Structure 1
Amino acid sequence: MILKEFRNYFSEALSEIYPKTEIDTFFFLLIEEKLHLQRIDTVLKPDFLIDDDMLLRLKNITKRLQKEEPIQYILGKTEFYGLPFIVNENTLIPRPETEELVEWIIKEIQEKRIKSKDVISNINEKSLSILDIGTGTGCIPISLANNLKCVKISAIDVSKKALQIARKNANLNNAEVDFIEMDILNTNKLNQQYDIIISNPPYVRELEKVEINNNVLENEPHLALFVTDENPLIFYKKITDLAKQHLTKNGVLFFEINQYLGKETVEMLAEKDFKNIILKKDLFGNNRMLKASFI
């Protein structure tokens, strides 16, 4: 089969499941990874011949996509903040919203360093100590390590299998991160004091499952996604309590949050004596990120 014919086959097979723009994205990712072709080659090389062995593999991938398996799991990798990351069924697939959180943190640190003053004490005189709680693929700490100088970064996750992937990703991106296996809900003390604590914990309520696409619901780890309807802020409350004990003077807490619980999360932080609380929207206009300081 030639490339032009395969594209027609691929588009037709997925047309009732995905929008055209998403099918095109899948197609270009697939030909780049498996055929080492670029988008422009669909125009320049429409008669590129796909041998029978490769065609069989591509058709098998098409069947997996028909079952709504994420393309990132099929390929075993994705990109986050311009860096490559290994992913599998033990890790959440990093989201664009989390890239926005990383961008916010990097800009905050860089701008404060330029101004030589910050709520974080002595920022120009020492390495910042940063902790990421619920790290998954390690996308947050690894991206920070690759974009910031003078930082010492640690990351926690409850899942041993997720941490195995995170360590591989750190090696892949030449990032120095100390990964720690820890169940944060059953932890009363962290290993040290930190200037910045970050977390993108599970925050999707059970009642919101109806809004979740099948490719997420049927494939990504529920341990990293869902909380009960009765106590949706369970991770935020616990992490905030730990942050009160383990943030340095004027230390900063960053959260990615449930878009529907922005007000409740702000109120919880205020009740626990955090100040300078900033609620930030993502590119889609949803309340998605929080920053707060503990003085």
Structure 2
Amino acid sequence: MFRSFLKLSILTIQTAFTYITGAIGDLYDEREAANIAHIVLEYITGMNKLDRLVHKTKLLTPDQNARLKTAIEALLRLEPVQYVTGTSWFYGMELLVNKSVLIPRPETEELVEWIVQELAGKPRPHLLDIGTGSGCIPLALKKSIPAAVVSGIDVSEDALTVARDNATKQRLDVSFWHMDTLNTRQTDTLPMFDVIVSNPPYITQSEKAEMQQQVWGFEPSLALFVPDNDALLFYRYIAQLAQHKLNAGGALYFEINESLGKEVVALLEEQGFTAVVLKQDMFGKDRMVKGTFTK
């Protein structure tokens, strides 16, 4: 079907939708293929779903037709649709994304919501996101808690470029710093915070074989994987950092590998954190941990 599409010179919005879903039908189930087709067509036409329905017989321009061809080719290479369009929705914000950053996930929205709820009534909390990537976590926190002083750090300059562009696009005042979480000389220069949050790399190399190629083939390995023999590497370093950089009564929040919940809880308790809580996500999987630090 995709080859026949290439031979067509005139496409309407409706026929373009049909060709997208047909081209990727062997890769995705019917519902997901339709959802991807809607995302691609909004990206190409600039029209929302209702407008596309009203104007379904509208012809694509030659430029739109060419962009559609490029998009389908990328999808057939298993490239995630968010990288095809360059955007991803998170916490009500349309964020810029590229292959330098992870695609924000709904589970991470739950982590943000947990923090927002627990900070209700705090006058001016200072918040830090470690391994910020696209900046989705600190931007969502700043959006929800305007009085908060929010910062993010990342080892990747390319990721920080995306995060800063997102802050500009969303008109949110968030500071982003280039810093290696595992370099204590660098992290020692950080100020004090009331909350530290991180969604660090937590997938072991041996788990890679179980993942979809859309993830490991395109999303940055630096932000995904840890060694099989040290799956808690980043949790350990960040917990040690938090001991020095959290104000009394401050909280540390993690997104975690669903198979390492008990291990992360034990690590935080060993590091002196109290009232450690393991929380499940919307799918009932162990996904988030919180620990309180009292000096």
Provide TM-score, normalisation by structure 2: 0.92
Question: What is the rounded CA distance, in whole Å, between the counterparts of 1:195 and 1:36 in structure 2?
Answer: 41
Identify the residue that residue 275 of structure 2 maps to in structure 1: 276
Identify the residue that residue 95 of structure 1 maps to in structure 2: 105
Change (3 A) 1:43 1:172: closer
Shift of the alpha carbon at 1:10?
Answer: 1.4
Change (3 A) 1:168 1:43: closer
- Is contact 1:190–1:242 with CA below 8 Å preserved after alignment? no
Higher relative contact order (CA 8 A, sep 6+): 1
Identify the residue that residue 218 of structure 2 maps to in structure 1: 219
Question: What is the rounded CA distance, in whole Å, between the counterparts of 1:191 and 1:45 in structure 2?
Answer: 53
Question: What is the rounded CA distance, in whole Å, between the counterparts of 1:264 and 1:224 in structure 2?
Answer: 20
Identify the residue that residue 129 of structure 2 maps to in structure 1: 132
Alignment equivalent of 2:27, drawn from 17, 20, 25 = 17
- Is contact 2:44–2:67 with CA below 8 Å preserved after alignment? no
Question: What is the rounded CA distance, in whole Å, between the counterparts of 1:4 and 1:154 in structure 2?
Answer: 44
Identify the residue that residue 8 of structure 1 maps to in structure 2: 18
Question: What is the rounded CA distance, in whole Å, between the counterparts of 1:286 and 1:177 in structure 2?
Answer: 31
Change (3 A) 1:190 1:203: farther
Alignment equivalent of 1:173, drawn from 170, 173, 176 = 170
Identify the residue that residue 193 of structure 1 maps to in structure 2: 192
Question: What is the rounded CA distance, in whole Å, between the counterparts of 1:200 and 1:159 in structure 2?
Answer: 15
Question: What is the rounded CA distance, in whole Å, between the counterparts of 1:228 and 1:66 in structure 2?
Answer: 31
Identify the residue that residue 33 of structure 1 maps to in structure 2: 43
Identify the residue that residue 260 of structure 1 maps to in structure 2: 259
Question: What is the rounded CA distance, in whole Å, between the counterparts of 1:6 and 1:150 in structure 2?
Answer: 46
Secondary structure of the corresponding residue to residue 278 of structure 2: strand
Shift of the alpha carbon at 1:38?
Answer: 2.7
1:65-76 aligned at under 5 Å gives the runs 65-76=75-86
Question: What is the rounded CA distance, in whole Å, between the counterparts of 1:166 and 1:6 in structure 2?
Answer: 33
- Is contact 2:132–2:154 with CA below 8 Å preserved after alignment? yes
The Cα offsets for residues 57-99 of structure 1, whole Å up to 9 and x where unpaired, read as 2022111101111111111111110012111111111111111
Could you tell me which runs of 5 or more consecutive residues in structure 1 were left unpaired when the two chains were aligned: 114-122
Q: Do structure 1's residue 106 and structure 2's residue 116 form an aligned pair? A: yes
- Is contact 2:201–2:234 with CA below 8 Å preserved after alignment? yes
Provide TM-score, normalisation by structure 1: 0.92
> Which amino acid counterpart does residue 175 of structure 1 have in structure 2?
L
Secondary structure of the corresponding residue to residue 230 of structure 1: helix
